[in-house]
Structure 1
Amino acid sequence: MATLEVPIPVVPIEPKVDKEHPMKCVEWHGKKSVRVNTARPSPLITHPGDAIIRVTSTSICGSDLHLFLGFMPGMKAGDIVGHEFMGVVHDVGDDVKGFGKGDRVVAAFDIACGDCFFCNKLKLFTCCDRTNPSKEEEKLYGDRTAGFFGYSHLTGGWPGGQAEYVRVPLADMNLLKVPEDMPDEKLLFLSDILPTAWHANELGEVGPGDNVAIWGAGPVGILSAHVANFRGAGNVFLIDEFDYRLEHAKSRMPFVKPINFKKEKVYDIIRKDLPYGPDVGIDAVGMHYAHSMLNRMEIAVGLETDTPEVLNEIIYTVRKGGRISIIGAYGGYVNHLNVGAFMEKSLTMRGGQTPCQSYWPKLLEMVKNGELDPTIVVTHEGSLEQSTHFYQIFNDKQDGCIKVVMHP
């Protein structure tokens, strides 16, 4: 069997650095260990297509908790984390055409070349074939994803955005120029979670009158409900185990029908309102939230990497002929997936990392016009120095924490 040859990335991953001008950044140092380093050399232009961004706002994503808890392979001590960030262009390489010093920009979490088959023809920028040389990911998946900022060496080992400065390669492809007169909080989430919420609805083909059930009331789940309502959905159910998250969502989106799966049987509650079940089920949970003793044991001993519990409940609950959208991050293998029910019920399942660049033009206009308001998820704001505390309360579901914004 022929093996794929891993192409050399179109730009070098390791940046040139300025040791004379250290910066602050958040580094991963093991399971449940993130630290602020105040003496990390700041990045320099390394390739003519680079831009250096002075970060004004960055945030902690639910996907970052997979790293924090040690569920994402390929992490190395000292890796700079974070993939949601925006700021001001500090410097640009000679080949950058669309941006100049002083421009206000949002960066995509995914790093795309714009020229490969997947970027140019399919517009699947998170499947870019030229920005991630990981042989490990190729062995695991049969192919590689694009490179992602701050998200392990499985996705390229690119330094992340929870820092004062970030090098953005292929800047013309991976930056979005944004208005000067809008606050960071309105724009920051164009880096990931707002496009991801839109992508969740795209994968599920949510349209007028569709009944939608969303598993996970974290930031992406809440914004997925917000987007579903904008797209004309009928009933929108939001499922979680924490009342404070459900109450937060309900207070900002009165149309939401919250369900606490620890207190109520999800299938029974939804089928009481919708005898056939919802048209669309969205998985905004992902890999490491195992609840059954069986799945916890199998994960602990390495018999599976992820739990199928949410997917099984969606398969069971969605109507026959319904659609399943997976935007919660999964890393590898699950056991006990109810593939029989999936097949016999004539369901469709789609998933994928979000190609932010595909959605930027329409989403920026919707945010500018007030049609979408991503700030509904923000609960905490502070400095980069508080990141250790913020990671802890976000992971431990303390202090009503749903979304953290940090300002370096």
Structure 2
Amino acid sequence: MKALVYEGIQEVNVKNVDDPKIENHDDIIVKVTSTAICGSDLHLVHGLIPNMPKGFVLGHETMGIVEEAGKDVHKVKKGDRVIVPFPVACGHCWYCQHDLYSQCDNSNDYGEIGGIFGYSNTLGGYAGGQAEYLRVPYANVGPTKIPNQLSDEQALFLTDILPTSYWGVDIGGVKSGDTVVILGCGPVGLLTIKWAAFRDAKRIIAVDRVGYRLKHAEDNYNVEVINFEDYDNTGEYIKEITNGGADVVIDCVGLDGKMSTFEKIETALKLQGGSKSAIEIATQAVRKGGTVVLVGVYGLRYNNFPLGDFFSRNITLKMGQCPAQAYIDTILKYIEEEKFDATDIITHKLSLDKGKHAYEIFDKKKDECIKVILKP
């Protein structure tokens, strides 16, 4: 089959690889109809996630048709149209039983945290879904059947960015009347803005440095926007214009934010896991007693982490990988009832054969690219 594979830092290609096969009785094989490139895929391509072998199939936002099912699979069957959430989860360990699917104890033999499709050997070694076919283990837990009246474009983001953005607003406790700051206007950030508005936040401020992404937020969601390149201290500026800071700050950037020269050196030497620029903005942009949520992906340990700034102002920190399975049914209902639509962030639909080009325009912010869907 054809698949997008990692070929080294800043290098991906479409290659022919072996078709996946049923390995366990609760596996399914999905014939992929749509897949997407996620901002966290770029962390792999930039060499920020360890144990990424050449030839590894990328992608963790995937949906399609069940082609084959193991004999113990009862949740879905051959011919069903399904989305596949990005965490690989067994469904029966303590963490899965407590809706912490992303921390599954049984899905990653290589480390303590749970497995993720297409995300290196560090996260379980599971081949990803930017391919013609995908093997899905624990198929009675993750895959969810999608109604035929919904298009792929309406449903695909249930695999990751819709639950992740919803979860950030949920654990942040965003409520009616709140002031909310969203750091990063990529796909997750834009959807987080929409969920904050869905929860009736009174004031939403979106922060980025990419002009067309800020324009999308301003034009489509009617929110305030700030280009952080325009200010010496963006966090202090936000504190000033909000009379003390926001109730909730949600970091949708993660380790791939703008790095200082020192951070670039530390990251290259594996002394630090990328940028913490968004975290530093958050320390000042949040009010005393407020909440900061990190949904952008971070790695390794961080030097000069501003812990004292959070501690001295009684800030609540919440973070981690979204347990997507816990939110899919709720969000799917909103989509079916036409209460929420995420399709406005889609800027490009390309064939899988154009995957290398898709990564380039997404990574380099070319052609006003926000979100790419690939069709095998």
TM-score, normalisation: structure 1:
0.90
Residue 209 of structure 2 contacts residue 228 of structure 2 at CA under 8 Å; is this kept in 1? Answer: yes
Distance 1:176 1:207 in 2: 29
Q: How does 1:61-76 map to 2 (within 5 A)?
A: 61-76=38-53
Distance 2:188 2:256 in 1: 16
Distance 1:49 1:35 in 2: 31
Q: Which runs of 5+ in 1 are unaligned?
A: 1-22, 138-143
* 1:354 equivalent in structure 2: 322
Deviations 1:317-368 (A, max 9, x none): 1000000100100111111122111111000001010111100111000111
Distance 1:195 1:274 in 2: 28
Deviations 1:236-257 (A, max 9, x none): 1110011111111222212x11
* 1:170, distance to aligned residue in structure 2 (A): 1.1
* 1:301, distance to aligned residue in structure 2 (A): 3.1
* 1:288 equivalent in structure 2: 256
Identify the range of structure 1 (284-293 vs 320-329) with the bigger mean alpha-carbon deviation. Answer: 284-293
State the AA in 2 paired with 1:217. Answer: C
Distance 1:308 1:397 in 2: 21
User: Which of 108, 111, 114 lines up with 1:132 in the alignment?
Assistant: 108
Residue 60 of structure 2 contacts residue 128 of structure 2 at CA under 8 Å; is this kept in 1? Answer: yes
Distance 1:270 1:370 in 2: 34
* 1:18 equivalent in structure 2: none
Show structure 1 runs of 4+ deviating over 6 A: none
Secondary structure in 2 matching 1:315: helix
Distance 2:34 2:268 in 1: 36
Distance 1:328 1:179 in 2: 30
Secondary structure in 2 matching 1:331: coil
TM-score, normalisation: structure 2:
0.97
Distance 1:269 1:369 in 2: 39
Secondary structure in 1 matching 2:353: helix
Distance 1:53 1:275 in 2: 52
* 1:58, distance to aligned residue in structure 2 (A): 0.1
* 2:362 equivalent in structure 1: 394
User: Which of 169, 176, 181 lines up with 1:201 in the alignment?
Assistant: 169
Secondary structure in 2 matching 1:322: strand
* 1:169 equivalent in structure 2: 137
Distance 1:332 1:130 in 2: 22
User: Which of 60, 84, 107 lines up with 2:84 in the alignment?
Assistant: 107
Residue 225 of structure 1 contacts residue 236 of structure 1 at CA under 8 Å; is this kept in 2? Answer: yes
Distance 1:298 1:166 in 2: 36
Deviations 1:366-387 (A, max 9, x none): 1111211111211111100111
**Number of residue equivalences:** 375
User: Which of 113, 118, 132 lines up with 1:145 in the alignment?
Assistant: 113
Distance 2:330 2:60 in 1: 21
Distance 1:40 1:295 in 2: 37
Deviations 1:260-311 (A, max 9, x none): 0011352354234310210001110011324322222322333322222211
Secondary structure in 2 matching 1:397: coil
Distance 2:26 2:269 in 1: 45
* 2:226 equivalent in structure 1: 259
Distance 1:80 1:297 in 2: 29
Secondary structure in 2 matching 1:323: strand
Secondary structure in 1 matching 2:373: strand
Quick one: percent identity of the two aligned structures? 40
* 1:124, distance to aligned residue in structure 2 (A): 0.1
Deviations 1:55-93 (A, max 9, x none): 000000000000111111010011000000001111111
Distance 2:361 2:343 in 1: 19
Residue 46 in structure 1 maps to residue 13 in structure 2 = no
Residue 308 of structure 1 contacts residue 336 of structure 1 at CA under 8 Å; is this kept in 2? Answer: no
Residue 112 of structure 1 contacts residue 125 of structure 1 at CA under 8 Å; is this kept in 2? Answer: yes
Secondary structure in 2 matching 1:36: strand
- Alignment root-mean-square deviation, CA: 1.2
Residue 308 of structure 1 contacts residue 335 of structure 1 at CA under 8 Å; is this kept in 2? Answer: no
Secondary structure in 2 matching 1:172: coil
Distance 1:289 1:299 in 2: 12
Residue 279 of structure 1 contacts residue 318 of structure 1 at CA under 8 Å; is this kept in 2? Answer: yes
State the AA in 2 paired with 1:63. Answer: S
Distance 1:270 1:54 in 2: 47
Distance 1:266 1:373 in 2: 31
* 1:308 equivalent in structure 2: 276
Distance 2:70 2:248 in 1: 45
State the AA in 1 paired with 2:200. Answer: G
User: Which of 324, 334, 347 lines up with 1:379 in the alignment?
Assistant: 347
User: Which of 90, 99, 108 lines up with 1:123 in the alignment?
Assistant: 99
* 1:226 equivalent in structure 2: 194
Deviations 1:183-242 (A, max 9, x none): 100000000000000111122111111110011100000000000100111111110011
State the AA in 1 paired with 2:106. Answer: R
State the AA in 2 paired with 1:378. Answer: I
State the AA in 2 paired with 1:259. Answer: I
State the AA in 2 paired with 1:131. Answer: S
Distance 1:337 1:308 in 2: 8
State the AA in 1 paired with 2:54. Answer: A
State the AA in 1 paired with 2:126. Answer: W
Distance 2:138 2:306 in 1: 42
Residue 306 of structure 1 contacts residue 333 of structure 1 at CA under 8 Å; is this kept in 2? Answer: no
